[in-house]
Every structure is written in C-alpha cells, then in structure tokens.
A = this chain, B = another copy of it.
C-alpha cells in the first residue's frame, strides 16, 4: 500500500475498464451495464477510492460550498456568534444545505480587508454563492456581489434597492402585534426601545409600534445587545416614570430591560408589561418568560439557502424577496 491516494486511473485499472466508465458509475450517468457497475463498485471498495474534490471542481466549476457571511462594519466575532439570533439562522441554513450535500463556509466581514477577502474568495470559486447576514445598514457587500455577478441572497431587505434575492419578516406587522397586546392588557403609558435606526428592520418595528400605539410614543435607541437594552430602558424609565407598557425591539435587549425594571422596583407584568421580539432562547429563560413576537428565523435561513441554490442552478433566475409573517407568543411578561 503506497501513500498516495488512489485515483480514478487506479480504480479503472483494477476494474479493467476505462477512467470514463468509473466516472460514469460514480456520477450515475448514462447507461452502464449492471454487471460492470458491480465490478467498478467492488474496485472502488477495494482501492478505498475517494474522488478528488479539487479536480472535480476544476472541471465542473462547482465546489459544493457556499459562503455564510456575517457582514457589516465592526462586529467582533464574539458578539456575532454569541447572539442566539445568528445561531438560529445558521441552524436553518445548515439543516437545509445538508440535504443537498453542500456545506456553509463561515466568514466574518467586519473590516474592509475581510470584505475584500469574501469577494475574492467567491471570485476564485472558493464557494458557489453567498448568504449574507448584514448587521449594519450601510454594508456594501450586497452591492459588490451584484456588481461581480456573484450569486447571493440576503437576510433582510437591503437598505437601498438592489437586484438581489432576500428573505425578511414583516417587521411592521410584528410590532403592531406587540402594540395591540399591550393595549389589550389595558396599558395606557407606552414606551419602546428600538434597535439601531440605521437598520430598516429597526425603523419598521418602531413605525409599526407607533402605527397602533400613537406616533408620539417615546423611544430610546439600542443596538440589539443585552447591555444596550439595559441602558435604553434606564433612560426611558428616567424620562417617563409612569410607564406601564414597553415594547423592546428584540429579546436580548428585553432581557436587559427586565433586569433594569426589576432593580427599579417595578414588577413585570403587574406594574410594567413588556413585549420582546424574535422569540429567541433568552425569551424562554427569562423570569418572567417574555411575551414576544416570533420570527421564524430557522425557516428564514432555510429559505435563504433554497433561494441561493436555485440561483446557482439557474443564474438567469430573477431576484425574489420572500417575506415571512410574525406571530405573537404570549408568555408571562405581558
């Protein structure tokens, strides 16, 4: 037994056929005699043959990998991967891809260098396409993908219109659900903590909440982290001590808000009702558990992967947005 890995040639020799025939058997194309198929499979078994992926890619121009890119300026790795929201996206993507024998390549695009690296990687055929999850509105990676004609699908509508597929949630409708819940619970003095207002989703959630709760409802801006939720809630409370209902634009911030309310001596939901957004794991583990607006993130991740694969299959495919519907999940906090 030599050290070099067996090649098609070796298998062909053992089976007494040509390289082409072995290739046909492996890829299951054209009509190959059943008897010969058996012989070839036995030869593959015997030699321990494994097709060389690089060689195959070279001719098929497919790698079987797609880039899963977390994009946006300055998002440190620990913050991104620590976010349960991102975990859910990954989960949906992986679940879908595995059924198609493809795998995601994790890339962080938090600096200009890193973004250039992502584009280069795709142009070099390091992946067949990209799934982009932007953390900031001014991210230019989607536009660069479009310009370079690289197959890509976004999570969330791009800030400026772009011929590219994306999945998104009807954030505005979701926020309206939250507002209605608070009003139904008899809350009169409402407030809200929004996400960063540069992000369309944040603006939509704020707008939706105000659609129902009134345009002058006070808001404090956070950035979707636990800490920013605490800070924003503290500011809100300082300015409006009579608050009895708050909508916080994601669960992580809502968990932070919960702590601030508790320390301020306000009981939830008795004194202040709280509604979050996302229905991510912190919502379930909080005390009280959060009433929240569910976003089917896993499904959205899977759909994103589906759209990308379709686009890779047919490059002429027209860009499609897919919008998901939110749902209210009632738990203890409101």
Query: Can you name 15 A-B residue pairings with CB atoms under 8 Å?
Result: A50-B120, A52-B124, A53-B121, A53-B124, A54-B58, A54-B63, A81-B94, A82-B84, A82-B281, A94-B108, A98-B114, A105-B106, A226-B285, A252-B285, A287-B287
* Other contacts beyond A53-B63, A55-B58, A104-B106: 11, CB < 8 A: A52-B125, A54-B57, A65-B105, A77-B90, A78-B88, A78-B298, A81-B94, A101-B117, A226-B285, A255-B285, A259-B285
Chain A binding surface SS class? helix
Chain B residues whose C-beta falls within 8 Å of the C-beta of A287 in the assembled complex: 258-259, 262, 287
Chain A residues 57 to 84 lying within 8 A of chain B, measured CB to CB, are 57-58, 61, 63-65, 68, 77-78, 80-84
Instruction: Select one of B5, B64, B107, B123 contacting A126, CB under 8 A.
Output: B64
A81 and B88 contacting across the interface, CB-CB below 8 Å: yes
Categorize the interface residue count of chain A.
35 or more
Given contacts A106-B103, A226-B285, contact A53 B125 (CB under 8 A): yes
Instruction: Select one of B52, B68, B91, B298 contacting A80, CB under 8 A.
Output: B91
Asked whether any CB of chain B lies closer than 8 Å to the CB of A129, the reply is: no
Chain B residues whose C-beta falls within 8 Å of the C-beta of A65 in the assembled complex: 65, 105, 126
Asked whether any CB of chain B lies closer than 8 Å to the CB of A95, the reply is: yes
Of A81, A95, A298, most B-chain CB atoms within 10 Å: A81
Given contacts A65-B105, A226-B281, contact A87 B94 (CB under 8 A): no
Of A82, A88, A252, most B-chain CB atoms within 10 Å: A82
Chain A residues 105 to 143 lying within 8 A of chain B, measured CB to CB, are 105-108, 114, 117, 120-121, 123-126
A126 and B53 contacting across the interface, CB-CB below 8 Å: yes
Query: Cα distance A51–B252 when bound, in Å?
Result: 43
Query: Which residue of chain B is the closest to A113 with respect to CB atoms?
Result: B98
B52 and A58 contacting across the interface, CB-CB below 8 Å: yes
Asked whether any CB of chain B lies closer than 8 Å to the CB of A284, the reply is: yes
